[in-house]
Amino acid sequence: MIRIALTLLAAFWTATSSPAGAEALPERTVKAAYLYNFALFTEWPASSAQRATFEVCVAGLDTSDLAVEIIENKKLRDRTMVVRGISKPAETSGCDLLYINGMFNRSTALQMLKESSSQPTLTVTDSSEIPFKEVMILMHHENDRIGFDINTLTMKLAKLSFSSKMLRLAHKVI
């Protein structure tokens, strides 16, 4: 597991700090690495850790549009990561991490976030259409790199906590 984490951290750092002119990783690979690292540096309540699988739910993309091979079947604290595509709010049940793509329908996305707000679900989006107050992590482009902002208020409501390392890497923390 340490080797996987180091590989993904290398992808994360390469994607966010490559010098100009260096060959960048495909965005789908970078986003998958981000999702893995967000999960790695988040603590869930003990009740969530009892399940054998760690459910990564993807809304707004065919799962092939995200480099799911990077995270599918990987271990995260003795749990096996499983990626599934979802399109309806009721499908958020059981999601440990909910990623909503920026191209997804805004009103359905907001319904999904409302549905998942009563669960310990890490919510991530790259949509500028979704209010930041509704998600925990907002990924964005900045100078040809992907960065992220963290909303600790939403995180606390879901009874999750982020490591100090992740908080330091964020561009903005509220």
Q: What is the identity of the amino acid at 11?
A: A
65 falls in which pLDDT band (50, 70, 90)? low
Q: What is the mean pLDDT of the chain?
A: 82
How far apart CA 159 and CA 121 sit, in angstroms, is: 9
Average pLDDT of the segment spanning 51-80:
81
Average pLDDT of the segment spanning 53-71:
77
Q: What DSSP character marks residue 77?
A: T
Residue 17 pLDDT: 46
Residue 64 pLDDT: 57
CA atoms within 13 A on the CB side of 25: 24
Average pLDDT of the segment spanning 104-109:
87
Q: Residue 99 in contact with residue 59, Cβ under 8 Å?
A: yes
Compute, in degrees rounded to 10, the torsion defined by CA atoms 162, 105, 73, 12: -50
Residue 9 sits at the vertex; the CA angle it makes with 1 and 132, to the nearest 5 degrees, is: 115
CA distances (Å), origin 119, targets 9, 75, 106 = 27, 22, 20
pTM: 0.82
Average pLDDT of the segment spanning 102-111:
86
What does the DSSP assignment read for 57-76? EEESS-GGGTTGGGTTT-EE
Residue 69 pLDDT: 77
Q: Is the pLDDT assigned to residue 47 strictly greater than 50?
A: yes
Domains and CATH numbers, the chain: 2-173 (3.40.50.2300)
Distance of CA 18 to the CA centre of its chain: 21
Say how many residues make up the chain: 174
Average pLDDT of the segment spanning 71-89:
89
Q: Which residue has the higher pLDDT, 139 or 11?
A: 139
